[in-house]
């Protein structure tokens, strides 16, 4: 499996010339990342993970493209009909040659006056876990770990890595921080990689790894 990170929280997974994309939001500026993919998985409705206009155009351009997401996102895409499949915690489905398990229900707590929105994480082939904006804990080899967020501190990041103890963790959700913040994040990840004896690091936009 080949994993490529794009802007902010978006990744593309490829296997046997088939592919799927997770969370191409407004903060993912790269063009063409959906071309050739059979499915788009969206964890939740926040703009940095979900861009309705991009998905509507992609579905119009590709009659085979399917979208899998939570009900909170699906309500914004009602015009796409059955091209949008609503999934929930515990669901399992196959798409693009991948086995996908759905994990979680709600976004991490982020504001005392705003109830958490729907959020579903995706476990791909029992190997790669994209949690969206949540910190669900499960046994997984490769974690796409949120690197920074308004709802997350460095101690939260460290605690999550230590509870998960993955063999590999690649930071996503890094589009809100400047160059100094990137240096801090990479320093934290290096320290945890050494402590846990794992491959823990930030992938630059466009960078790929083989899993």
Distance CA 100, CA 190 (A): 30
Low-confidence ranges of the chain (pLDDT < 50): none
What pLDDT is stored for residue 190 in this prediction? 98
Distance between CA atoms of 8 and 148, rounded to whole angstroms? 10
List, for residues 11-37, the tens digit of each pLDDT value: 999 999 999 999 999 999 999 999 999
Q: What are phi and psi of 178, to 5 degrees?
A: -85, -175
The pLDDT of residue 117: 98
In the numeric block, the tokens 């399992």 are attached to 92
pLDDT score recorded for residue 199: 98
Please tell me what DSSP assigns to residue 21. Answer: E
pTM: 0.97
Strands (E), 6-43: 11-15, 18-22, 39-42
Provide the pLDDT for residue 57: 97
CA distance 37 to 19: 5
> Which pLDDT belongs to residue 192?
98
Chain centroid offset of residue 57 CA: 21
Distance of CA 204 to the CA centre of its chain: 15
pLDDT at 101: 98
* Interacting residues of 89 by C-beta distance below 8 A, sequence separation 6+: 102, 103, 104, 105, 120
Which pLDDT score, from 0 to 100, does residue 171 have? 98
**What is the model's pLDDT at position 198?**
98
Contact by Cβ (8 Å): 122, 129: yes
DSSP 149: B
Intra-chain end-to-end CA distance of the chain, in Å: 5
DSSP, collapsed to helix, strand or coil, labels residue 107 as coil
**166 vs 144: CA distance, rounded Å:** 10
> Domains, the chain, ranges and CATH?
2-210 (3.60.15.10)
């Amino acid at each position: 499996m080949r994993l490529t990170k794009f802007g902010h929280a978006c990744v593309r997974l490829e296997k046997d010339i088939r592919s799927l994309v997770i969370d191409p939001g407004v903060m993912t500026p790269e063009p063409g990342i959906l071309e050739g993919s059979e499915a788009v998985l969206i964890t939740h409705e926040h703009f940095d993970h979900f861009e309705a206009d991009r998905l509507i155009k992609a579905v119009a351009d590709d009659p085979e493209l399917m979208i899998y997401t939570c009900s909170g996102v699906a309500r914004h895409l009602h015009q796409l009909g059955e091209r949008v499949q609503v999934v929930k915690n515990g669901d399992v489905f196959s798409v693009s040659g991948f086995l996908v398990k759905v994990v979680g229900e709600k976004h991490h707590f982020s504001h005392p006056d705003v109830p958490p929105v729907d959020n579903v994480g995706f476990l791909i082939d029992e190997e790669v876990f994209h949690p969206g904006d949540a910190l669900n804990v499960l046994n997984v080899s490769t974690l796409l770990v949120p690197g920074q967020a308004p709802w997350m501190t460095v101690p939260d990041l460290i605690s999550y890595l230590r509870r998960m103890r993955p063999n590999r963790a690649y930071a996503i959700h890094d589009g809100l921080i400047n160059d100094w913040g990137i240096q801090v994040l990479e320093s934290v990840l290096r320290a945890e990689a050494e402590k846990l004896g794992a491959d823990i690091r930030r992938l630059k936009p466009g960078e790929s790894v083989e899993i």
